[in-house]
Chains A and B, each alone.
Chain A
Amino acid sequence: GQSLEQPSEVTAVEGAIVQINCTYQTSGFYGLSWYQQHDGGAPTFLSYNALDGLEETGRFSSFLSRSDSYGYLLLQELQMKDSASYFCAVRDRGGGKLIFGQGTELSVKP
């Protein structure tokens, strides 16, 4: 089977850096993605890693280590608007299905 694990909650202060980890077990691996969801709204795509290493997009970076079946999302210069749920997801070998983790609720405090 396939499964992903990520912390259920993370709290940080405005301006700080926070890392959200994700470990996965899959029968085939076609990339690790990250999604953001505010207050039950539509999840939106943040980033994707197919190969080992760090991908940077503005204040957000995502890292992947395929040998460790592990990745993380790094959020820098936290802002109040970053308070949201963050989901990691792996793409199934079926060619397009995503399997999502249970989500990490990030609370940014002043």
Chain B
Amino acid sequence: DADVTQTPRNRITKTGKRIMLECSQTKGHDRMYWYRQDPGLGLRLIYYSFDVKDINKGEISDGYSVSRQAQAKFSLSLESAIPNQTALYFCATSDPGTGLNEQFFGPGTRLTVL
């Protein structure tokens, strides 16, 4: 089955460390997204990419950077992790052919920054 995968699934790190979260998809979708989820705050968009050469900031991009290495891969980096970046992070994809209102989410990465 075409899928969206995220690695690692869980990560504990210390303040100041650089962390990379990876997302891969086999759906063939051009559009990819990174969200973070905090209790009671829903899903907030960090960065999004409509193709390999098109990367855009979302509503909470400060402290994060991304890299779109290929159509299938979209990585999120925390340059210097801080405790308030402790959250659940999701990658998602979408495609105009299947409807832009339907996004397909990966299983998530639970990140804890001590």
A103 to B39, CA, bound (A): 10
A27-42 contacts to B, CB under 8 A, are 30-31, 33, 40-42
Near B by CB (< 8 A), chain A positions 62-98 give 87, 89, 91, 94-98
CB-defined contacts of A30 to chain B, threshold 8 Å:
100-101
Contact A8 B88 (CB under 8 A): no
On whether the beta carbons of A31 and B106 are closer than 8 Å, the reply is no
* Interface pair B42/A102, CB less than 8 Å apart: yes
Residue B48 at the chain A interface, CB threshold 8 Å: yes
Residue picked from B56, B90, B94, B102, most chain A C-beta under 10 Å: B102
Given A42-B108, A43-B90, A96-B94, check contact A33 B102 (CB 8 Å). Answer: yes
Write out the residue numbers on chain A whose beta carbons fall within 8 Å of the beta carbon of B101.
30-31, 33, 45, 48, 50, 89, 91, 98
What is the number of contacts between chain A and chain B, taking CB atoms within 8 Å? 62
**Interface of A: prevailing SS:** loop
A31: chain B residues within 8 A (beta carbon): 101
Most buried by B among A50, A96, A102, A103: A96
